[in-house]
Chains A and B, each alone.
Chain A
Amino acid sequence: DSGVTQTPKHLITATGQRVTLRCSPRSGDLSVYWYQQSLDQGLQFLIQYYNGEERAKGNILERFSAQQFPDLHSELNLSSLELGDSALYFCASSVVEGGTGYNEQFFGPGTRLTVL
């Protein structure tokens, strides 16, 4: 158990809908990362938040948005869903000592999103 929690575990929805994925980082970790893993692709970085502020952005679609709240939990919002958005979405967290890149990331169990 990494200490990172994600809800829900599974989500099935229809095209055009909007969903929210939730992540609680390990206690004390200020940095939260979101990743997408599709069947035909490796793990793709979406976005990073550090202490409530957006820190880095990857290949995140405009239909997707995220935020990190004062209690450090984060939410990833996916809207106007398409079939291709079906994937495993991971959240990870890390401490920040000497730069976030120097610290291992702890991954949550993931949310499997199926868009029908």
Chain B
Amino acid sequence: ILNVEQSPQSLHVQEGDSTNFTCSFPSSNFYALHWYRWETAKSPEALFVMTLNGDEKKKGRISATLNTKEGYSYLYIKGSQPEDSATYLCAFISNFGNEKLTFGTGTRLTIIP
């Protein structure tokens, strides 16, 4: 059983502040890590697919880093806006050959106006 953990479980951030949260995954047998953003009453939407140790990806005010040797990825949001309120999910894929996504339970982010 692959263990993918996200912390914190939930987070309240003042509008305009920056924030970050963590995804931890098994450091061995790494293949890829996905980040998804899931707004209430909508479906998950892909943010990043990260495949190489040291990867840094950016989309607007959101960025992510990857450390496959120690088994973690950080997601950063700069200058939080109310529309950033969502659950952020990471999903790990091992190199066992079946390419299935194992999701963490998510970090629920609420931006306080």
Contacts and interface: CB of A to CB of B under 8 A. Distances in A.
Contacts of B58: none
A64 to B, nearest CB: 15
Nearest to B93: A101
B44 A90 contact: yes
A97 B90 CA distance: 21
Contact of B99 (A90, A101, A109, A110): A101
A39 B92 CA distance: 21
Contacts of B42: 109
Contacts of B91: 43
Interface string A79-116: 00000000000101000000111111111111000000
Interface residues of B, number: 22
A103 to B, nearest CB: 7
A92 B44 CA distance: 9
A56 B46 contact: no
A55 interface: yes
Interface residues of A, number: 25
Contacts of A106: 46
A70 to B, nearest CB: 22
B51 A102 contact: yes
B100 A107 contact: no
A75 to B, nearest CB: 19
Interface of A: 2, 33, 42-45, 48, 55-58, 90, 92, 99-110
Interface of B: 31-32, 34, 42-46, 49, 51, 89, 91, 93, 98-106
